[in-house]
Chain A
Amino acid sequence: MSFRNILNSGKFVVTAEVGPPKGTDVKEMIHHMELLKGKVDAVNVTDNQSAVMRICSMAVCKIAIEHGLEPILQMTCRDRNRIGLQSDLLGASILGIKNVLCMTGDHVSAGDHKGAKPVYDVESVQLLKMVDGLNNGKDMSGSDLKGTTDFFQGAVVTPEANPIEPQLIKFEKKIRAGAKFFQTQAIYDIEKFKEFMKYARKFPVKILAGFVVLKSAGMANFLNNNVPGIRVPQALIDELKAAGKEKALDTGMDITARHIKQLKDEKICDGVHIMAIGMEDKVPTIMERAGLL
């Protein structure tokens, strides 16, 4: 069953992430894909994540299909104008890519080509509208397409954004622009996430809670201080500290598994998105501990 159908069927879905490498050696990436095959419902393929140049998302999505995974093409507005984006969307469509995640994209100043010209000809809301247009046979300038796309389009939201109001205004604009599902920035406070979900449930969209596994108390502090929209509660930091250096990662995996299980058991949201960031091999273990395998 496709990602779209699984999500619409009401089953609790799990997505993971594949980060394309910098360079043409894809052995390790394919190994990660093989680990995830048959376990997750879809994999996001990141688009020059953190503005660091790597293999393009579309090519890796194609490889994911060949390895039996359903890809979610991440598309940012940073590197392509409206012509490039639409053209790539048509290309993705004929390669059999069904899902697209529309994002703004980290600024080039975060990446490894700081002198590059950032594009942002359109932004995430307009990109969602663009996808909706292509699905309905029209390009952005209103011209008819010969053969339309059939994308299942999603977007991202940051439930812990501070301030939250402007973020929610944009969330609603994304829904009106055609977003069918959302993957969230990493969450660590389930009670707060429940509040967000109470609000989000008013809309006919599916929500997948984002997870980034904590490897240590130090990492948790780093996220709190440096990553926008992430807030790790002190209780979790203490739990990681108490576990000691050796067992910190294991405890981090336990925390993630425990949270995922709670979301599923209490039917808080529609699924989860596990961003392993270099720990793809740990995803099956986390899923097992969460009772998902």
Chain B
Amino acid sequence: MIITKKRDFKELMENIKNCKSFFLIGCSECASLCGTGGEPEVKAMKETLEAEGKIVTGGIVAKTGCQVLGTKTELKKNREELDKAECILVMSCGAGTQAAVEIFEDKPVYPTNDSLFLGNMTRFQMFDERCSLCGKCILDKTGGICPITACPKGLLNGPCGGCKDGHCEISPDIKCAWVRIYERMKRLDRLQELCEVTLEAKDWSASQKPRTLVTREEKKK
């Protein structure tokens, strides 16, 4: 899921200082699990803004905030509240915020969160990053552990000289990705493969931005 973090409230207030009335859009997917845009957070935001003297005309928790058409349809029932609001506050990720930008051509849209990474939830509201969406997966070569993400240098062929007692040069809190890969390949009895295969430099054109993808079959006209 997309991991988000609430922006510093002072910073948010600074960004919206010229607006009086707001409509809030949360998201029931990632932002709910992150505790940044679910039902309780939208409610709390309404109260906080009102305490700051702002007007909140209404709000919803969209089912999937990054889905443009679905969210637009869901918002139909809030027509009046939306009309009364000077601007939109989106309490999901950057994608959700930009879905709102597409829906509301004439209203300013502000994000209440910072979007951080594609993450795994390890415990309740604890997340870590395991995939950087590089566009050409190499997990099959690295025992299922992604060095592009787990190694701060994204090294593809083994550890750097900075590995200290199995930990990463940049922090003793991070286990060296290549020690993890080594250990896993050993457990899987695939060390020979690890020794023999030298991975080529990645073709970064696979992550050329902005990326688009169409998987549906185009209807014949």
Contacts and interface: CB of A to CB of B under 8 A. Distances in A.
B156 A228 contact: no
Interface in A136-162: 140, 156, 158, 161-162
A253 B182 CA distance: 38
Interface in B142-164: 152-164
Interface stretch (A66-74, A115-123, A187-195, A262-270): A115-123
Nearest to B148: A120
B163 A228 contact: yes
Interface stretch (A2-10, A88-96, A102-110, A274-282): A102-110
Contacts of B204: 121
* Interface secondary structure of B, over-half rule: loop
Interface stretch (A31-39, A170-178, A197-205, A243-251): A170-178
Contacts of A23: none
Contacts of B198: 125, 129, 173, 176-177
Nearest to B164: A228
A25 interface: no
Contact of A107 (B153, B181, B191, B194): B153
Nearest to A158: B161
B173 to A, nearest CB: 13
B162 A228 contact: yes
A291 B79 CA distance: 89
Nearest to B168: A107
A120 B154 contact: yes
A123 B161 contact: no
A140 B201 CA distance: 9
A110 B171 CA distance: 10
A161 B28 CA distance: 47
A104 B154 CA distance: 11
B200 interface: yes
A82 interface: yes
A229 B169 contact: no
A51 to B, nearest CB: 11
Contacts of B164: 162, 227-229
Contact of A169 (B152, B156, B161, B182): B182
Contacts of A165: 182
B19 interface: no
A120 B153 contact: yes
B165 interface: yes
A185 B170 CA distance: 18
Given A118-B153, A121-B204, A104 B161 contact: yes
Interface string B180-219: 0110000000010011001011001000000000000000
A49 interface: no
B159 A156 contact: no
Interface residues of B, number: 29
Nearest to B195: A169
A154 to B, nearest CB: 14
A162 B158 contact: no
Interface in B79-127: none
B166 A126 contact: no
B201 A126 contact: yes
Nearest to B162: A228
B33 interface: no
Nearest to A156: B161
Nearest to A165: B182
Nearest to A107: B170
A104 B170 contact: no
B153 A104 contact: yes
Contact of A185 (B152, B158, B161, B201): B161
B138 interface: no
A167 B179 CA distance: 9
Given A106-B169, A118-B153, A169 B163 contact: no
Contact of A122 (B182, B195, B201): B201
Given A118-B152, A228-B162, A166 B157 contact: no
Q: Which of A121, A165, A176 lies at the interface centre, i.e. has the most chain B CB atoms within 10 A of its CB?
A: A165
B158 A107 contact: no
A162 B165 contact: yes
Given A109-B170, A228-B164, A104 B182 contact: no
B154 A166 contact: no
24 contacts: A82-B201, A103-B161, A104-B155, A104-B161, A106-B169, A107-B162, A107-B169, A107-B170, A120-B154, A123-B155, A123-B156, A123-B160, A124-B157, A126-B156, A126-B157, A161-B161, A161-B163, A163-B182, A166-B163, A166-B178, A166-B181, A167-B158, A169-B182, A169-B191
